[in-house]
Amino acid sequence: MVNETLPQGASPQRTRQAWSVLIVSTLAFTVCFMVWMMFGVIGIPIKKMLNLNATEFGLLTAMPVLTGSLVRVPLGIWTDKYGGRIVMACVMAITVPAIWLMTYATEYWHFLVIGLFVGLAGGSFSVGTPYVARWFPKNRQGMAMGVYGAGNSGAAVNKFVAPVLLVAFGWAMVPQVYAAIMLGTLVLFWLFSHSDPSHLVPSNVKFTDQLKALKDPKVLKYCQYYSIVFGGYVALSLWMVQYYVGEYGLDIRVAALLAACFSLPGGVLRAIGGVLSDKYGAHKVTWWVMWVSWICLFLLSYPQTDFTVTTVDGPRSFHIGLNVYAFTALMGILGVAWAFGKASVFKYISDDYPGNIGTISGIVGLAGGMGGFILPIMFGALMDWTGVRSSAFMLMYGVVWVSLIWMYWTEVRRTEVMGSNAAASPLA
């Protein structure tokens, strides 16, 4: 059986190994996420160079997300079987040449194909999550997975680094620098990470046995939650720079800085979400995350509107719409909420599936990643169809409604009914 917790009174060496694994794995995931979100910035000059429409731009930014999502299930299973250290190192090593080749792409299909290989970096999430969790006791696993998940802040790092390189040297310099950073991080990860054979799933466990989790309705529900708190986060991290440029006419560097006000808290504060989930429970944190998301997305959905009203003094014109400051503030709140939500969903998983974290996190991560793949394409298609940029938020507002309704009937309502039955029972 998998050793799910550290023993009480763990040795100082064991404790040091656990924290070393957590720190270096979080660094590796941050760099992987930075690479994964690369098109969110360099895609803008590429769009102009290739004369792409909004749908084609959405597909361009989403291609790395596709492979990063599809590989999450097998990577999670291989992590359970072979260990997180070797699987993470292999993932990082494979992406280095693909990142470098991006410099030589000239046609649209070149970027799409190379983007598929670069996207393997996104699969690192389902490797590191079970890898770091098993180094910590059950009551600290939410914290450990939250700290690791803070590597999502790589999306914000990308928005700080890529615009500077882009303006100074051109977009082609960005993948060259990122390839060097990935290679250096791979060396650091291998030097300071550790392996523990007791964390491996027994070799007699079959692939098909692990995939039986797909029949569990709870897993499907967690997939739905994660499709918004992570899938929405990925989609908006890719979409926001060009949204600021198009909606408010900002310079790409200013647009990237403001977009980081969403990406940075959406990544860094995930660790706090893990601590809150350990303390208050996954359900309570996720419930409030969904309501905050619902309110923010409702306000963000309203398009810039001018209308004229006939008054007793004659026609009067009014304008309704978010200015750049109000928009950025709402995006920041949304980023904080989703940071907590990403941690709380994985607290559900560590509570319900302690011996199968790798497989379940891979399945749920796949659902979240597919949300991050599909949403940018739908954002572009909706904008081409309606001409309204805020239609992206209208779409996600509907997704949050689905999560709230599902959560109410399967968790909130069920708890209320069970409480009523217990109160009515003479044995209660």
pTM, rounded to two decimals: 0.74
DSSP single-letter state for residue 410: I
Residue 347, C-beta contacts closer than 8 angstroms, at least 6 positions apart: 141, 142, 145, 274, 277, 278, 281, 282, 285
Reported as type and span, the H/E element at residue 380 is helix 357-386
189 neighbors 88 (Cβ within 8 angstroms):
yes
DSSP single-letter state for residue 354: T
Q: Which pLDDT value is given to residue 8?
A: 45
Question: What pLDDT does residue 32 have?
Answer: 94
Give the CA count within 13 Å in the CB-facing half-sphere of 328.
15
In angstroms, rounded to a whole number, what is the distance separating the alpha carbons of residues 52 and 45? 10
Angle between helices 231-248 and 217-229 (to 10 degrees): 20
d(CA 86, CA 416): 46
The domains located in the chain, with CATH, are 12-192+207-418 (1.20.1250.20)
The two beta strands, 314-320 and 305-311, are antiparallel
CA angle 39, 45, 49 (to 5 degrees): 120
**Dihedral of the CA atoms 280, 283, 285, 288 (nearest 10)?**
-130
CA dist 29 and 177 (Å) reads 17
3-state secondary structure at position 311: strand
DSSP string for 38-55 = THHHHHHHHHHHHT--HH
Torsions phi, psi for 328 (to 5 deg):
-65, -40
Contact 394, 301 (CB under 8 A): yes
- Report the candidate in 121, 6, 113, 127 with the shortest Cα–Cα distance to residue 60: 113
Predicted local distance difference test score (pLDDT) of residue 358: 66
| Sequence-ordered list of residues with C-beta below 8 angstroms from that of 202, at least 6 positions apart, any chain | 1
Three-class SS of residue 3? Answer: coil
pLDDT for residue 2: 40
The half-sphere exposure of 86 on its side-chain side, counting CA atoms within 13 A, is 10
pLDDT of residue 5: 42
Q: Which pLDDT tens digits describe the chain residue by residue (428 residues)?
A: 344 444 445 677 778 888 899 999 999 999 998 998 888 888 889 988 999 888 888 889 888 888 888 887 788 778 878 888 999 999 999 999 999 999 998 899 999 999 999 989 988 888 888 888 888 887 777 788 778 878 878 888 888 888 889 888 888 899 999 999 999 999 999 999 888 777 776 655 555 665 666 677 888 888 888 988 988 988 888 888 888 988 888 888 888 888 888 888 877 787 788 788 888 888 889 899 999 999 999 999 988 888 888 888 888 888 888 889 999 999 999 999 998 998 888 888 878 777 676 677 777 877 888 888 888 889 988 988 988 888 999 999 998 998 888 888 877 766 555 555 544 444 43
Total residues found in the chain within this entry: 428
- Compute the distance between CA of residue 358 and CA of residue 79 in angstroms, rounded to an integer: 6
Alpha-carbon distance values, 358 to 191, 306, 363 (Å): 23, 51, 9
Nearest CA-CA partner of 94 in 74, 73, 124: 124
Contact 263, 237 (CB under 8 A): yes
As a whole number of Å, the CA-based R_g of the chain is: 22
Task: Report yes or no: 226 and 364 within 8 Å, Cβ to Cβ.
Answer: yes
Q: Residue 34 has what pLDDT?
A: 92
Contact, 146 vs 266, CB < 8 A?
Answer: no
What is the pLDDT at residue 424?
Answer: 45
Q: How far apart are CA 206 and CA 171, in angstroms?
A: 45
